[in-house]
Each structure stands twice: as structure tokens, then as C-alpha cells.
Amino acid sequence: MRRAVGHGKRIAGPPRNRLAARVEGLYPGKVAYKWLCFDADGVLFDYDRAEKEALEGALTRVGQRLEPELHALYRQVNQELWSAWQQGRITTDELKTVRFEHFLAKAGIRARPDSFAQCYLNALARAHHLCPGCKPALKALRRRYRLAVVTNGLSSVQQARLTGSGLMPWFEVVVISEEIGVAKPARAFFEQALHRMGQPKRDKVLVVGDSWEADIAGAAACGLHTCWFNPQGLPLPKGPTVQRVVQSWAELRQWLMNEAPRA
């Protein structure tokens, strides 16, 4: 799924560096984490590309083209329904079809929502495009840290994408919201992740995520350290202290592996 990743306008050029320095300066010294926990969509996987491919495929099956207006409408409906699910206002089964019922109705497209949903989800499960630099960075990080995935999503989709990308064997723990019946930012989600990790000390766990509300605020409320994956260069929202802000996997790797920046 795709969540809101932050608030405000994009930071371009030097201001983004000042933002990173400001956050990093709060926590000087050597990185000493034992566990790294990664969100899936927007951190491991290029969700925007996957969503576009899946929606385009589903629309083609019903004789429609993916126009920018349709894509924007789907994103609006999808975000509203995912938020409702995270807040417990709809069930997982409802989420799987209701968002497509709403989308098709608003778009004026005559199609069966359940068939459209299945076509979309099947295509999404096959779309395991990784974010730039993800795989080489993880290959290096796994030599020093224990790795976990902490994701809000549907089990069939996330399991297939982790397997198809070849990343699954690298993660000791995989926590998917549908499988445990609770979603980020709920404290119970992170408590379940900690349980599966063997209850490590909380200051030895770093959560890397692109959603300020679900990943950063949620993890911080549970006493975990956080790194905001912020490729868009958005300004730092109000809320909990974050240990680091990065805009790329290269930057994350340099920090966690104590590597010098590459020219």
C-alpha cells in the first residue's frame, strides 16, 4: 500500500542537507544498533511504479486506459480506504474490494469490483521493483545487522514481492499487518515485531520508514529509534525526535556502515 509520507513542500538543494545535519547532530557518536526494521512500500519497493503497472493492467482488462485523472482518483480512494482500515473502521476483507467499488463507481466504469480487485492484486504481487540502491545496501547491512520487515499490507502481495525480489532470505523477521490483525502506527504492531525479534533492547532497534505517522511516530511511541526515508526532501514534520533523515539507500548505507561518502 501507499501512505502519506510527510507534510509540506519539497526541500530542494542545500536546505535538505541542513535538515539532515540538524537531525544527525542530535545523536552524535557511533551507530550501535542490533536490528534494522524496514518498511516495505516506499523503502524496499518502488510502490509508485508497482501501483501504476497494476492499475494499468486492471483497467486494460476492462477496456480502459490509465489516464492521469483516473490514477489520481484511484490514489485518493485508496488512501481514504487504507486510512479507514488502519483506524479499524473497515475489515481487511472489505478493504480488498470496497476501494475498487468506490473507484469504479466514481470513475463511471462498468466492471465487477471483485474481478477488478483480483486482477489488480495479482499484478501488484508480481511487481517487485526495488528502490534504487536497495539490494546492494541490504547485502552490505546484513553482514553487520539483523534485518526485519515491518509493513502494512496484504499478506499475499507482500510475501510474493519479498520472494520474487530475492530479498526474503535476508530477513529474519517479517511482520505483515494483515497476518497479525493490527497495523502501524498501533503500538501493538511494534510490540508484536519486538516479540518476534526476541525482545531486544529498544534503543538497539532502528525502524526505517517513509511514512511519518505510521513508521516514525508509531515506532517512536513504542520507544524505538527511527530513520525517516525521505527521498522527496520534505520538511521535517512536528512530532517525535527522529534519529536520522536520509534521502537514498546510499545515504542510509553510508551512515549505518560508517562509510565515507562516495564522490
pLDDT per residue as tens digits for the range 168-206: 999 999 999 999 999 999 999 999 999 999 999 999 999
| Residue 148 shares a structural domain with residue 243 | yes
Gap between the Cα atoms of 44 and 62, Å rounded: 31
Give 259's pLDDT tier (boundaries 50, 70, 90).
confident
Which of 126, 156, 179 delimits the end of a domain? 126
The CATH number that applies at residue 169 is 3.40.50.1000
Give pLDDT, residue 30.
62
With respect to residue 262, please indicate whether it lies within any of the assigned structural domains.
no
With respect to residue 177, please indicate whether it lies within any of the assigned structural domains.
yes
| Residue 32 shares a structural domain with residue 58 | no
With respect to residue 211, please indicate whether it lies within any of the assigned structural domains.
yes
Give pLDDT, residue 23.
56
Catalytic annotation on 215?
no
> Which residue is catalytic, options 39, 46, 210, 215?
39
Give 103's pLDDT tier (boundaries 50, 70, 90).
very high
| Residue 235 shares a structural domain with residue 148 | yes
Digit-coded pLDDT (tens) for 153-171: 999 999 999 999 999 999 9
What's the domain count of the chain?
2
| Residue 209 shares a structural domain with residue 105 | no
| Residue 152 shares a structural domain with residue 183 | yes
Radius of gyration of the chain (CA): 19
| Residue 33 shares a structural domain with residue 157 | yes
Which of 111, 126, 141 delimits the end of a domain? 126
The CATH number that applies at residue 84 is 1.10.150.240
| Residue 174 shares a structural domain with residue 203 | yes
- Is residue 220 predicted with pLDDT exceeding 50? yes
**Mean pLDDT score of the chain, rounded to an integer?**
89
Domain that holds residue 112: 47-126
| Residue 169 shares a structural domain with residue 73 | no
With respect to residue 224, please indicate whether it lies within any of the assigned structural domains.
yes
| Residue 156 shares a structural domain with residue 234 | yes
- Placement of cell 502506527 in the chain: 185
Q: What is the pTM (predicted TM-score) of this model?
A: 0.86
| Residue 22 shares a structural domain with residue 59 | no
3 compared with 133, residue with greater pLDDT:
133
